[in-house]
A and B are shown apart, each in its own frame.
Chain A
Amino acid sequence: MWLFALPALLINVCIILIPGLLTLMAAFFVWDGVGTPAWAGLANFHSLFDDPVFWTALTNNFIWTAIFLIVPMCLALVMAAALMMVPSSRIVVQCIIFLPRILAAAVTGRVFQGMIFSPVTGLVGWLNGHGLSISDPLADPDRSLYAVAAVDIWHWWGFLAVVYFAAMRQISVDQIEAARLDGAGFFALLRYVLLPGIRPTLVLMMILTVIWSFQVFEFIYIVTQGGPANGSEVLATLAYRNAFFAGDIGKATAAACVMSLFGLCATSVYLWLQTRDSASAA
């Protein structure tokens, strides 16, 4: 069995475990990325925790996680249930809602930045020109995180809906028909038949959402670069700036370790749930 696992194991050790351990080590050194690293103990973590921007970034990661556990999940579940109940036009609707997912993040980010939010070239500017006073949410530190989240939700929820729809199709048609004959409406069917039927997929996507939310980088960096005034800063953008602008690899990897900690927690919860389900099934 070990021989079969060896190729995959080797790849994982080489491209995940070793770089991961090196990253962990770097968090305990002062290093500018090219010179000789010097042992720093926990100084990078102290420096990180003393930086108010770190706490802003961590809070924003939690807000981002909460948003993505609620908004795209609900949108996707309702759409997937609707697709189950209305078979006509399924393919066309799936294509349309999946389309944002195949666009490059840079394209989506620039489209929203320039054609939607911009007060000069975007929809916001057009509305302002027609008497509706709206400011660019990306320029407001209190709203910029939510504006970028809206962009990412637009890009993400269709994919989630297609995944849920695929999972719902595994539910027995007899079960759905029986519920409808018993008079279950849209939301009753969703609540009592469809949601319990896709529970494993739902849990998996929620766990992955938590992991991805603590890794979020691309949309934020493309659209706001974490600003203004760190209003949309998250741990990944903070780590990137520390590493590649401030030349402080140690502090950057300390931030990356905090990110990984949350991913590790989410993965542990998933593994615990899997073990529990397996035990109860046996």
Chain B
Amino acid sequence: MPVTRRQIVAALPAAAVAASLPRVPARAQDGRKVVTFWFAQANSDGQTALRNDLVDAFNASQDKYLLQLEVKGAAVNNLLKVALLAGNGPDIVQTSGPSYLTAIANAGQLLPLDDLAARYKWKERFLPALLNTGVYGDKLYALPRDYESMHLFYNKQVFSQNGWKVPTNRAETEALADAALAKGITPFSAGNADWKGVNEWLMTVFFNNVAGPDNVRRALSGELPWTAPPFVEAVELAKAWYNKGYFGKNYFSLTNEQSFLQVVNGKAAMAMNGTWSFGTKSFGMSKPDTVMDVVPIPGLSDRVTEPLSHLACGATLSIAKTSQNAEGAAAVFEFMLSRQFYQSMNRDWPGKWALPVKDLPPDLLQGIGYPLFEKTIASLHEAFSKGRFGFTTWTFWPNAANSYVTEGIEQVWLNRITADGYLNRLQTVFAEELKAGRVPPLPPRTA
């Protein structure tokens, strides 16, 4: 039947009224309320784990809600911003950490979780240091999805063959690196050809392990400028190590996976990389931990005399303010806190979903069946519980300062600017963001 102009004109007000009606939660064919969740990047192992251990397992565990998860890729943060502004975001809002969360939380796009947290006792079940990264203006807006740290991964076979020991301070680290170079072995394999963020991983180590975590915290609080001598020393050391070839000849040519594979293959001795690396293909090639070992990175100055873990929250989980199914989203969070999910997800995709639960009994970890990962998570849990940690750039630096840390250091390494020039610019960018209230919440630490 042809549609007349009069019918179209008559339909327009109806369409406008329909568009202005309040949204109701979508329902699946079996009457369950749908919970939508956009995930960022996941490799093939990760996607399988997400499907089996989260989506299918949650949907089978109850009959009220149906979880629908979409893997959106690296652009998810941008997609989220646009979708939330338009009021069409997913129910579960996952960001790539507190740096990204701050803008969304400050803009009032998220539902405060305090009521749900009280009902499910989340505040008693998460590690405070991590949970605090989701608190803005005394309200809880996000739960931490995981904890991470930069660690020293090393090839224990290469160490054993050369009679090397794990370094415990800067002098030992440099002596070991020089010995490796003399044998044609790359001391610290690294590569940023596919992800410039590798620069900030390394700078997290230099800022914390050279300048010291207390100085970093003071700088992030605005009590100490980034131009202070401890940070100059940190950047100068980063430059010196780059120029000596400690990060190999092909830093700008290798991808992160390729660089890590060099350690697994014995072409490099060590890598300063994140604990998420347990879930990468290249690390997977070393299973079952016969080749690799991992320890916290040693202190690299007189200020830092002990190995240091770096507090990082790789992703946060929130509920959109416009969500019509906050209860369903909370049910998913509750499922994530189950023993079944913790063990299966960490077994199938280690390092990506190490939920920072306060109570981590040994049998929970042993159920994962991956000793090196279990050891690392246990040590992170202890360090973060006791407040002994440094601060990672991608969790605690505001966006523009974080972006400059990543971009600007290449100019220092390649002699385009000086360490002072780099830190001056960082201070300028950071001061503006501090003034605008864009620095994520800083958890207290103990010496």
Contact = CB atoms under 8 A, between A and B. Distances in A.
Interface stretch (B99-107, B129-137, B381-389): B99-107
Interface string A240-256: 01001111100000000
A32 B103 contact: yes
A230 interface: yes
A139 B403 CA distance: 20
B399 A245 contact: yes
Contact residue range for chain B?
20 to 34
Contacts, number: 78
Interface string A220-257: 00000101111000000000010011111000000000
B418 to A, nearest CB: 13
B81 interface: yes
B410 A139 contact: no
Contacts of A138: 193, 252-253
Contact of B253 (A33, A117, A141, A244): A117
Contacts of B360: none
Given A33-B81, A141-B416, A120 B250 contact: yes
Nearest to A122: B253
Contact of A246 (B252, B399, B414): B399
Contacts of A229: 410-411, 413-414, 416
Contacts of B254: 120
B77 interface: yes
B407 interface: yes
A209 interface: no
A243 to B, nearest CB: 8
B72 interface: no
A108 interface: no
Contact of A33 (B103, B400, B413): B103
Nearest to B100: A247
A121 B84 CA distance: 42
A225 B404 CA distance: 14
B251 interface: yes
Given A118-B253, A120-B254, A227-B410, A113 B78 contact: no
B414 A228 contact: yes
A248 B400 contact: yes
Nearest to B409: A229
B270 to A, nearest CB: 18
B249 interface: yes
Interface string B75-107: 001100100110000000000000000011011
A34 B403 contact: no
A225 B413 CA distance: 17
A35 interface: yes
Given A117-B253, A139-B253, A35 B403 contact: no
A136 B250 contact: yes
A223 B400 CA distance: 23
Interface string B410-440: 1101101000000000000000000000100
Interface string B241-254: 00000000111111
Contact of B403 (A33, A36, A230, A245): A245
B303 interface: no
Contacts of B106: 35
Contact of B78 (A136, A227, A244): A244
B109 interface: yes
Contacts of A113: 193
B253 A247 contact: no
B196 A246 contact: no
B249 A119 contact: yes
Contacts of B249: 119
A230 B410 contact: yes
Interface string A102-126: 0000000000010001111100000
Given A118-B253, A120-B254, A247-B103, A230 B411 contact: yes
B250 A139 contact: yes
A76 B106 CA distance: 53
B93 to A, nearest CB: 11
Contacts of A245: 399, 402-403, 406
Contacts of A120: 250, 253-254, 258
Contacts of A244: 77-78
A122 B59 CA distance: 46
Contact of B252 (A36, A136, A248): A136
Nearest 7 CB-CB pairs, A to B?
A: A139-B252, A247-B399, A246-B400, A34-B107, A229-B410, A35-B107, A246-B403
Interface of A: 32-36, 53, 113, 117-121, 136, 138-139, 141, 225, 227-230, 241, 244-248
Given A53-B407, A247-B103, 16 more contacts: A34-B85, A34-B103, A35-B103, A35-B106, A35-B107, A119-B250, A136-B252, A136-B253, A141-B410, A141-B414, A227-B407, A228-B414, A229-B414, A230-B416, A246-B399, A247-B399
